[in-house]
Amino acid sequence: MIELGESSTSSFLDNLKVGVVIPAAGSGQRMEGKPKQFLQLAGQPVLKHVLNLFLSYSWVKDLVVALPQKQFEEQPSWLNQDSKVQWVVGGATRRDSVWSAIQALSEDLDLVIVHDGARPLTSKKTIFDCVKVASEGLGAVAGTRVVDTLKATDKNNQVLKTLDRSDVWRAQTPQVFPYDVLFGAYHKAIQNDWIAGDDSIIVERAGGQVKMVECSLLNFKITFPPDLDLAEAVLACSKS
Ligand code: C5P
């Protein structure tokens, strides 16, 4: 079941200025070359579901989407429906796309939420829980605990050992950080060309403290073709 509500009333949010960065400039290499953020899910593009998650909040002051060059030049009309939304051209890596978007945010923000443009089933509770942790000055990363047994192998898949999975998580998004922490860490990452698959890696490397926030297993990223069918099924179930 999708978690629908926030875990408690959100009055502390009324005093916060929050920006949202959505990296959506990927090329969809694992989705048969189709950028997954523009595929249709339950009657609208995946990325539109993601925008809808954040545009309903009055405390979201600024939202920047990093787009591929083609969609930046010919923006689909559904992207153009809220004055809070700005677009930038993404870069060669997710890191570069996020950095371009961070630079386009207004500078008087308290917190920044970074959320993948291909992760449409995130619940309001997860967003709220991450924002709450970040409002205490930490980085907050949505994720799930690893439940399967973990094996380390050699190049021929020969098992070398079984790893301890306690305290091991899968890191996802949203990832929420104080604005200054995220900006400073990304600035260092770009100057020093740190390779990073997500934002928390950059903040950790820059010395920031990051906490995991447990979210639903349904917070998965549309990555492979079957993920789209699964997301359709989840949305159909949540309506019935
Ligand atoms: O490639 P991956 O699945 O990790 O992408 C996560 C998110 O980052 C996706 O929403 C994708 O569109 C975005 N991305 C980006 N710029 C890139 C690569 C990925 O904005 N160069």
pLDDT in tens, 141-191: 999 999 999 999 999 999 999 999 999 999 999 999 999 999 999 999 999
Question: From the CB of 23, is ligand 1 less than 6 Å away?
Answer: yes
Q: How far is the CA of 46 from the centre of ligand 1 (A)?
A: 13
Q: Which ligand 1 atom sits closest to the C-alpha of 221? A: 3
Lowest mean pLDDT among 27-36, 45-54, 160-169: 27-36
Question: From the CB of 97, is ligand 1 less than 6 Å away?
Answer: yes
Report the pLDDT value the prediction gives residue 1, as an integer from 0 to 100: 35
| pLDDT at 2 > cutoff 60 | no
Closest-CA residue, ligand 1 atom 5, reads 26
Mean pLDDT of 51-59: 92
Q: How far is the CA of 161 from the centre of ligand 1 (A)?
A: 32
Tell me the pLDDT of the chain averaged across its residues: 92
Q: How far is the CA of 224 from the centre of ligand 1 (A)?
A: 13
| pLDDT interval class at 10 (50, 70, 90) | low
What is the tens place of the pLDDT at every residue in 193-224?
999 999 999 999 999 999 999 999 999 999 99
CB 28, CB 118: distance < 8 Å: no
Report the pLDDT value the prediction gives residue 94, as an integer from 0 to 100: 97
Closest-CA residue, ligand 1 atom 11, reads 26
Question: From the CB of 66, is ligand 1 less than 6 Å away?
Answer: yes
CATH 3.40.1260.10 fits 11-239, yes or no: no
| pLDDT interval class at 4 (50, 70, 90) | very low
Taking Cα atoms as reference points, which of 20, 70, 81 lies closest to residue 48?
81
The domain limits of the chain are: 11-239
The model scores a pTM over 0.85? yes
Closest-CA residue, ligand 1 atom 21, reads 93
Bridge partners of 211, per DSSP, are 140
